[in-house]
Amino acid sequence: MSEKQIDILLDSILPLLKAGVAFTIPLTIVSFVLGMIVAVLTALARLSSLWPLRAVAGFYVWIIRCTPLLVQLFIIFYGLPYIGIVLSSFTAATIGFTLSVGAYGSEIVRASIQSIPKGQWEAASSLGMTRVQTLRRIVFPQAARISLPPLGNSFISLLKDTSLAGSIMYLELFRVSQEIVARTYEPLLIYCAAAVVYLLFCSVLTWLQSTMEKRLARYSAS
């Protein structure tokens, strides 16, 4: 590496980290939290005994799963202004990723809820607990433990997928690295630096995930 390259690298590291901390991470966390709320509600709707609820939820999951995320983001950010809905790139990205997490997450949540043995429902019912009480006190805590590993994976994927938000003008880590490359003509160096920053964030998340899994696994047979 030449001295000039080292200078460029040193100058780039800070903006890349900043973009990650100020843009990539907030988008990831906000979308994931909102997405999980959507996921749980969608899962409950799909397990509901009311067919209109099941139908709406099934339609939503179908649309989101069977169209590319990038296309969804473009529709939200570039398309909606034509019917008078103008969104900031952060809002548009948050909506897009929330819907995505909600749809994929709902499948995970639904499978986890369905994997709780019928006997748990019956034991709770026989004690006089209502359906809602049973969900809240008996089924969700157990389903959460089962869904944590796959949801952790979704979270980590989401962190990386936020790089797509660069294409709708959101100044996240990848977009910032592209801008630096345009200025410096050092694609190998800068994109590798961006990859290292993603790697760093991802490692922290992976560690957090395994810590949480251990805490939740307290009661399971070892």
Partner 1 sequence: MRGEAMIEIKDVHKSFGTLEVLKGINLSLEKGKALAIIGPSGSGKTTLLRCFNLLEQPDRGQMTIGGTTLHFQPGSSIRQADTLALRKRTGMVFQSFHLFPHMTAVQNVMEAQVTVQGKSKAAARERAEALLAKVGLADKADSYSHQLSGGQQQRVAIARAMAVDPDVMLFDEPTSALDPELVGDVLKVIRQLAAEGMTMIIVTHEMRFAEQVADYVVLMDDGIIVEEGPPQQVIGNPQSQRAIQFLNRVTNYDVT
Name the burial class of residue 205, with classes exposed (0-12), middle (13-18) and buried (19+) by CB atoms within 10 angstroms of its CB: middle
Applying the rule CB under 8 A, the residues between 109 and 138 that interact with partner 1 are 117, 119-120, 122-130, 133, 137-138
Query: What token pair was written down for 34?
Result: 């909102």
Site for partner 1 in 15-34 (CB under 8 A): none
Dist CA 79 CA 89 (whole Å): 12
191 to 220: interface string for partner 1, x by CB under 8 A: ---------------------------xxx
Q: 3-class DSSP state for residue 88?
A: coil
Choice from 46, 110, 145, 175 touching partner 1 (CB under 8 A)? 145
Positive or negative, the CA dihedral 190, 195, 198, 203 is: negative
Shortest Cβ 218–partner 1 spacing (Å): 8
Looking at 72, 142, 147, 154, which residue binds partner 1 (CB under 8 A)?
142
Please report, as a single letter, which amino acid is at residue 24.
Answer: T
In sign, the C-alpha dihedral spanning 172, 176, 178, 179 is positive
Q: Which is nearer to partner 1, 205 or 216 (CB)?
A: 216
Give me the residues that bind partner 1 (CB under 8 A), please: 117, 119-120, 122-130, 133, 137-138, 141-142, 145, 218-221
